[in-house]
Amino acid sequence: MAGPLDGVKVIDLTGTVLGPMGTQILGDAGADVIKVEPPSGDTIRYVGPRRSPDMAAYFVNLNRNKRSIVLDLKIPAARAALERLIAQSDVLVHNMRIAAAARAGLDYASLAPKYPRLIHASATGFRQDSSMRDVPAYDDIIQGLSGLAALNGQAAGCDGPRYVPSVVADKLTGHVLASSVAMALYARERSGHGQSLHVPMLDTVLSFLLPEHLWGYSINDPEQGIGYTRMLIPDRRPFATADGHLCLIAVTSAQYLRLFTLFGRPELMQDPRFATTTARGQNIGELYALIAAELRQKPTEDWLDLLAEADIPHGAANRLEDLPKDAYLKEVDFFRQIEHPTEGKMTVLAPPVDYSETKLGFHRPAPRLGQHTEEVLREAGLSEAEIAACR
């Protein structure tokens, strides 16, 4: 069954994490993603365990459903070949600096007059009309500038900022990039013409981070502070049990009544500190400390059974190594085994979205460097002599 973007051709000039995450989502949806790499390849090809030098695990999990071609864009014939590909494509995606794209003639102003239906998508650290448009940015930098590292360190009780242990800024921006491309394609179906779109990392992360943390500033009352109180108390973490940890959160008054009843203390619902949503929010530190003390009295498995029976939201505090054994993830076949033509058996991640009619899926395993160069260039109409000139 064809994916929702079946028939869409994407020229992918991105590298490392942000761009490849976004274009992989487009590929999962059925788009024909042509990954254009320099002769040295995407740097992420060489990060992490691997069987072949250019097929590291990190790369494999960001680049399925793509075809790889190698073009050294310093060679005029290769630059001309790229132009042929762009002419036949629906979308061009890059994450190079704005000024560098303009120098290479790959900015929207250079391409739009020739290809009026082209969706030109780019992502960099900062807005392209700002003074910081060409300042380099990577995940660590954006975690710091956005306040995420400071927030994470504060919540963890560290003596300073601490990065979230995930490339969260890059991957989040990649998801926004993919959804933005899809919306631009929909707009083109109605208008008949393309457009440019740009996704700035810092603004994207702040838009994700601040809805709850803007707090008093949302009502122009800085005295009430910035930062969602519940997120910043020391006990907001997986709770210790008699033999491990678990995750638990009650939200409604009905859930809290059931939780206090499990503790054998239903009268706590009459305590002015805990009787209403507002009161619980104002006394959240005391409330979480009380819950933490109660949960230490029984083993994890006992609590999981009791919480399930009481219909209180809860879950195990899994470690990374627990995930492949998780019953739910096994049930939905989240970790999928494939046979890569050159790399052998590999574990890959299932696309997370289900469509009833246009399924997402695995059309191609992650490509070897330049694996599809001749195939793609022949499809574009290049002669054997023109292909040879690109090498």
CB 141 within 8 A of CB 147: no
Measured CA to CA, the distance from residue 22 to residue 240 in angstroms comes to: 37
Other beta carbons within 10 angstroms of residue 80's beta carbon come to 14
Task: Supply 47's token pair.
Answer: 């990060």
With b meaning 16 or more CB within 10 Å and e meaning fewer, what string describes 243-263? eeebebebeeeeebbbbbebe
Task: Supply 368's token pair.
Answer: 């070897």
Nearest to 363 by CA among 58, 27, 21: 27
CB 347 within 8 A of CB 336: yes
Other beta carbons within 10 angstroms of residue 355's beta carbon come to 12
DSSP character for 318?
-
Q: By CB neighbour count within 10 A (0-12 exposed, 13-18 middle, 19+ buried), where does 114 fall?
A: exposed
Residues 6+ apart with CB under 8 A from 239: 245, 246, 247, 248, 291, 292, 295
The catalytic residue positions are 170
Nearest to 256 by CA among 233, 276, 283, 285: 276
Torsion sign, CA atoms 236, 241, 247, 248: negative
